[in-house]
Every structure is written in structure tokens, then in C-alpha cells.
Amino acid sequence: MAKVEAEKRALVSEVKKGADVTELKFRLSIHGEDLHYPGEMISGCKLMEKCIDCCTELSNIRDNGDGGLFVRTEGNILTPVHMLDAVEIIVWVKKQGTRSRVYGYEMYKTSEYNHETDFSTVFDEPVLTVKGEVTFVVGYER
């Protein structure tokens, strides 16, 4: 089998691990499997789920692969998100105990897809859509 050479590997962000990693950013587009309401609107639960998944990844990076046990979240949905909108999720450490971690999360809509015109509008200023925090317990026995 022929070896495939990477063309853009140099542009991939550096992968960091350990407790000194205190924040991460994720960019994604919202797809049809997350539809819940008429007008291609996405469920607030799905939006928070995506944020919590990003917090889990930060926990994995900080705690040697132990994403922890998700025990609590609190969040506010501030602006609707629709299918094919693009978002950026920022997660960070708010508080760290010996076995618990509290992470903050914010989701920003960076572009909005218009289904009637089949075009996206890229915003000059991202729009805060979700804001919250989540608590994990790490090092628990399975």
C-alpha cells in the first residue's frame, strides 16, 4: 500500500497535555442530526451537550485520559442556533480540587446559514449563544 503524505500537517495546532493546559477552542458546524424544532432550530440540550463534550476533552488532556464522571451542569441558551450555523466553543478551567474539576464553557455563533438563499453570513462579531459551567469528578473507581 502506498504511503499517503500529509499536505497541511504543519498547520495542525500543537497537541499539549497536562495540568498546564487551561483552555481549549473548538470550531464546528451544526448538522441535521441535531435538529429538534421547526425551522431547523437546534435543541438547547444538544448545544449544551456539545459544550460538555468539549469540557470532557479538556479534562482528558489535563488528567491523563481520565475525562471524569460528569456530575453537574448549569447553562443558559442565549441565542438560537440552526442547522448549518458555524460555532466556536471555548472551554476553560474555573476551579480545580483534588478530585473535582469545574469548567466554564461558552459557545459563539460565528456564521449563520440562510436556507432560503443557500448562503451563509459570516459575522463580523461572534454572537454568544450558550454560557455555562460543568463539574466532573476524576479518579473514581469504575
Q: What is the pLDDT along the chain (142 residues), one digit of tens a residue?
A: 778 888 888 888 888 899 899 999 999 988 877 777 777 889 999 999 999 999 999 999 998 877 788 899 999 999 999 999 999 999 999 999 998 999 999 999 999 998 889 999 999 999 999 999 999 998 866 5
Determine contact, residues 70/56, Cβ cutoff 8 Å: yes
Tell me the CATH number for domain 21-137.
Answer: 3.10.129.10
On whether the pTM is more than 0.85, the answer is yes
Mind spelling out the 3-state secondary structure of 23-84?
Answer: EEEEEEECCHHHEEEHHHEECHHHHHHHHHHHHHHHHHHHCCCCCCEEEEEEEEECCCCECC
Sign for the pseudo-dihedral over CA of 75, 43, 58, 138: positive
Domain ranges of the chain: 21-137
> Per the structure block, which three cell numbers stand in for 42?
437546534
